[in-house]
A = this chain, B = another copy of it.
């Protein structure tokens, strides 16, 4: 035994196979080698249960085959799904995922990025809220939903198109007076375009509409108050609502029901995300569905691209509409 620990190294394999260290390395890296040598090496490796030490390799090659994925948490179904799909996309390419959670804390976000420099990951995929994140330009970086600067590609769903789609859907379903409601962070991001798209269609079609935007509110109270203030004799002033998340859509749905308003008969609601109920597997509400699998695939493929000049600034992936009980069914 060459070492106190019984984990074999290339040296051990070389000795066992009766070849040199370099030959073993070549075999392990798929470099052409005489067939008899190759066999002796693979046999010896098999016998010893040899596994290449990726840390030693990484030290030499400056490639670690690992990517850091930075997200606020995994409680939100969108983040959980994103982490799931990103990890699968990375595994498919024999990369591993280093998962880091920030709890929406800008400092934690920055710290993660610093930490990645130590760990020498080959890249970072991040969904962050820190508006002045310092990004090391030497490491490949892709953001989700958050457009940092021209150097850093951002992958998102087609938020603008999704907003338009929601407006057109509501109008085609007969809505006359539309409402946009937004909940979430005040940090500007790609997500803001959902409102812009929605409003652009409203204007184009000369549809009556209003936007209620409440940033960084921990509670839904302001939205409830708005609804209370716009209900007269059991009738809500608007007949079509687009919410910027499914969660808000469901909350508003509940509130309206409780206020005696019928959904979707009197008021139709469309959310955004396409969240599935984890009991039934069906959509929670009518929604604009984000293509999370394709977003993950795109993020990984952009991140790992060999030629890193000429990267897209923004890659917006197509969304689609799903019916989920809060809109009238087209027959």
Please state if A119 and B101 are interface contacts (CB–CB under 8 Å). no
Contact call A99/B97, Cβ cutoff below 8 A:
yes
| Minimum Cβ distance to chain B for residue A268 (Å) | 18
- Chain A interface SS verdict (over half): mixed
Q: Is B278 touching A247 in the complex (CB atoms < 8 A)?
A: yes
A327 to chain B, nearest CB (A): 18
Which residues in B have their C-beta under 8 angstroms from that of A58?
Answer: 55
In the bound complex, do residue B84 and residue A96 qualify as a contact, i.e. CB atoms below 8 Å apart? no
Asked whether, in the complex, the Cβ of B84 is within 8 Å of the Cβ of A118, the reply is no
> How far apart are A77's CB and chain B's nearest CB, in angstroms?
6
Question: Does any Cβ of B come within 8 Å of A87's Cβ?
Answer: yes
Q: Are B87 and A100 in contact (CB under 8 A)?
A: yes
Residue A91 lies at the interface, judged by CB distance under 8 Å to chain B? yes
Indicate if the CB atoms of B66 and A98 lie closer than 8 Å: yes
CB of A91 within 8 A of CB of B96, answer: no
User: How many copies of this chain does one complex carry?
Assistant: 2
Contact B55 A64 (CB under 8 A): yes
Collect the chain B residues with CB atoms within 8 Å of residue A280's CB.
251
By a CB distance below 8 angstroms, the chain B residues around A117 are 51
Write out, one digit per residue, whether chain A residues 221-242 have a CB within 8 A of any chain B CB (1) or not (0).
0000000000000000000000
A75 on the interface (CB 8 Å rule)?
yes
Chain B residues with CB under 8 Å of A97's CB are 98-100
With A83-B83, A250-B279 known as contacts, the answer to whether A55 contacts B120 (CB < 8 A) is: yes
Q: Which of A297-318 contact B (CB under 8 A)?
A: none
Chain B contacts for A138, CB-based, 8 A: 5-7
Contact with B along A256-279 (1 / 0, CB 8 A): 000000000000000000010011
User: Which of chain B's residues has its CB closest to A275's CB?
Assistant: B278
Min CB–CB distance A57 → chain B (angstroms): 9
Q: Which residues of A contact B (CB under 8 A)?
A: 5-7, 51-56, 58-59, 62, 64, 66, 69, 73-77, 80-81, 83-84, 87-88, 91, 96-101, 114-115, 117-120, 138, 247, 250-251, 275, 278-280, 284
